Structure 1
Amino acid sequence: MKPISARLLHANSTNSGQLGQSSEGTSKLFVYGTLLLDDVISTLIDRIPHREDATLPGWWVARLPHKVYPGLVPGQGETRGKVFTDLTGAEWAILDAFEDPAYALTAVRVMLPVETEAFAYRWDGKYVNQGWSITDFSRDELADYLDRCRRWRRLYEQRSQ
């Protein structure tokens, strides 16, 4: 996986999900799955970033085979989520390192309520044709997932020294 700075140069500015030219000028990140949860994001970057409610048309949040976290895939309808508006370069690097290699950072157009550009981690792997539920995840998987996030963050810090 390329580091965030290199990957940003290849993200486009449409909902097409295709890689293209740079989308300079935006540092917003649209989140739709586990990163919506304060416990998860604060475990990873040591704070809860400023965020705004957002809607992403033309995408949906799918269950992934053998994974507890979801993937964002093109499709009918819209996805509700949040946009982080104040991530630092170091925080982008942490999130980029954390995300599964099957995600591709993609520029998308979100409604905040006005349309604006943000990046999102799009899933490029196989998925189940069924929606993912943050309620079910929080009830059934969150405690174990937070333990995994804590272990991952410790390893990340050790490797970064």
Structure 2
Amino acid sequence: MTLFVYGTLLFDPVLEALLGRIPQRLPAAAPGWRVAAMEGRVYPGLVAAPGTEAPGVLLTDLGRREWAIIARYEEEGFALREITLSSGRRALTHVWLGTRVREENWDPQVFECYHLPGFVAWCASVAPELTAEADRHKHCHP
């Protein structure tokens, strides 16, 4: 199964910091969803929104260890769900179940300009812990 990503995992430096490589990607979109800005967070949440379409990419070649790292990277409030993409293909993604969703969509250009370097540094600092935890539980993921 592939993973649909729509926020911080769109950025090569984030993937490199977390996984140590850039997975293969395909452009994708998720109808009926939007990439929402959230109060107090620099990253977005995917929320249901009839009549809209969330842009993103599919990560197509993740190994079990990488799935486990990403599962630990996604904070509390996200849940892994299967969705249908505009191509008709099915994919897993992390949807936001929490509150504090803003009315506007998340802006990846604003994130890149103002938050990416600090976010990548944070990812690099937590990656060893995420990797160690993933190694202990990698059998639990797709």
Could you say whether these structures have the same fold, taking a TM-score greater than 0.5 normalized by the shorter chain as the test?
Answer: yes
Task: Tell me how far apart the structure 2 counterparts of residues 95 and 158 of structure 1 sit (CA, whole Å).
Answer: 12
Task: Tell me how far apart the structure 2 counterparts of residues 48 and 133 of structure 1 sit (CA, whole Å).
Answer: 22
1:63-101 residue CA offsets vs partner (Å, 9 max, x unmatched): 111111000000031011100111000000000011011
Task: In structure 1, give the amino acid aligned to 2:19.
Answer: I
The structure whose RCO (Cα within 8 Å, separation 6+) is larger is 2
Correspondence for 1:154? 128
Task: Tell me how far apart the structure 2 counterparts of residues 91 and 143 of structure 1 sit (CA, whole Å).
Answer: 22
> Percent identity at matched positions?
35
Task: Tell me how far apart the structure 2 counterparts of residues 63 and 144 of structure 1 sit (CA, whole Å).
Answer: 18
Task: In structure 2, give the amino acid aligned to 1:90.
Answer: R
Task: Tell me how far apart the structure 2 counterparts of residues 128 and 158 of structure 1 sit (CA, whole Å).
Answer: 34
Instruction: Judging by fraction of residues, say which structure has more helix.
Output: 2
Give the Å deviation of 1:130: 1.3
Task: Tell me how far apart the structure 2 counterparts of residues 157 and 137 of structure 1 sit (CA, whole Å).
Answer: 25
Which of structure 1's runs of 4+ aligned residues deviate more than 2 A?
154-161
Task: In structure 2, give the amino acid aligned to 1:82.
Answer: V
Task: Tell me how far apart the structure 2 counterparts of residues 140 and 67 of structure 1 sit (CA, whole Å).
Answer: 13
Aligned length: 133
1:38-77 residue CA offsets vs partner (Å, 9 max, x unmatched): 1111111111111100010000011111111000000031
- Cα-Cα RMSD: 1.3
Task: Tell me how far apart the structure 1 counterparts of residues 120 and 12 of structure 2 sit (CA, whole Å).
Answer: 11
* Residue 101 of structure 1 pairs with residue 76 of structure 2: yes
Give the Å deviation of 1:154: 2.4
Gaps of 5+ in 1: 1-26
Task: Tell me how far apart the structure 1 counterparts of residues 8 and 105 of structure 2 sit (CA, whole Å).
Answer: 14
